[in-house]
Amino acid sequence: MNKVFGHEYSLFPFEAFSFQHFMMIIILIGGTIFLYSKKNHLKEHDKSVRILMFLSLFVLEAMYHIWLIKDGYWDISFTLPLQLCSLSLILCLILLTSKSNFIFQIVFFIGITGAAMAVITPELFLGFPHFRYFQFFITHIFIIWTCFYFWIVHDYTPNGKGLIMSFLFLNGSACLAFAANKVTGGNYMFLAYKPSNASLLDYFGPFPYYILALEGAALFFFFLLLVICNKVKVKAIQR
């Protein structure tokens, strides 16, 4: 049991697109289908569902920091909530408690886009059945599910204004992350250098050009997400 919560990375190697990786992608897709198929039932138990989602995100994130602190691995260069998915997680916690449409509009775009990229191309160095493996994937999957939950179950609708607010929030956060990188020597939001694992950034050129390309990609994926969601919503209404 101690090894499962330890820091011996060689004991639990993670391999991208292995069975352990695809298993989590399948869970993400299956859970999203479940949200859609059981949306009326979920709405009847909305408060309990939101409490469960809130606790899942909060407890797992707290356990991650405790896991780092207990063995002296917590470091300001990578543990501040300045990664895109860390910010999305905080916004999801606020959304789950407040049901704010304003928060929804911001986190819907950055949350789904960022967490989906993290699930598909994870910067993860500990695999099944290590604690970090489950913590990483479950928190990122729950970020996506939280966004979809409010879209599917509560019928919140992402819009163009939300896309712009989300993009502005992304850039404001990037400015803070850039400053933090200078002070801590970290790589928040991958603004100092590319992640060591294979990712979409590998196709965006060298530093600093990939940052500009990332801006364009973010806008593209935000817009694509908006178009797809609105088309799906229209088809659902027409049925």
- Tens of pLDDT, residues 150-201: 999 999 999 999 999 999 999 999 999 999 999 999 999 999 998 877 777 7
pLDDT of 65: 97
This prediction's pTM: 0.95
- Tens of pLDDT, residues 71-116: 999 999 999 999 999 999 999 999 999 999 999 999 999 999 999 9
Comparison of pLDDT for 175 and 2, the residue scoring more = 175
- Tens of pLDDT, residues 182-195: 999 999 999 999 88
Q: What is the mean pLDDT of residues 116-143?
A: 96
Confidence of residue 17 (pLDDT cuts 50, 70, 90): very high
- Give the residue among 176, 181, 182, 168 at the shortest CA–CA distance from 215: 168
Q: How does 208-233 read in b/e, with b if 16+ C-beta sit within 10 Å?
A: eebbeebeebbeebbeebbeebeeee
pLDDT of 237: 54
Residue 238 CA to residue 168 CA, distance in Å, equals 33
| DSSP H helices in 100-208 | 101-120, 131-152, 160-184
Q: What is the mean pLDDT of residues 64-76?
A: 96
Domain boundaries of the chain, sorted by first residue: 9-238
Query: Based on C-alpha coordinates, what's the Rg of the chain?
Result: 18
Residue 31 has pLDDT above 70, yes or no: yes
Question: Which amino acid, residue 197?
Answer: N
Flag the least confident range among 3-17, 53-67, 98-112. 3-17
63 contacts 135 by C-beta, under 8 angstroms = yes
Percent of the chain with pLDDT over 90: 87
CA 151, 32, 5, 126 dihedral sign is negative
130 contacts 7 by C-beta, under 8 angstroms = no
Angle at 107 between CA 200 and CA 137, to 5 degrees: 55
Residue 112 CA to residue 43 CA, distance in Å, equals 21
Residue 130 CA to residue 128 CA, distance in Å, equals 5
Confidence of residue 234 (pLDDT cuts 50, 70, 90): low
Residue 31 CA to residue 36 CA, distance in Å, equals 9
85 contacts 115 by C-beta, under 8 angstroms = yes
Q: At what angle do helices 131-152 and 84-98 cross, to 10 degrees?
A: 50
pLDDT of 197: 77
Mean pLDDT score of the chain:
94
Q: At what angle do helices 46-70 and 131-152 cross, to 10 degrees?
A: 150
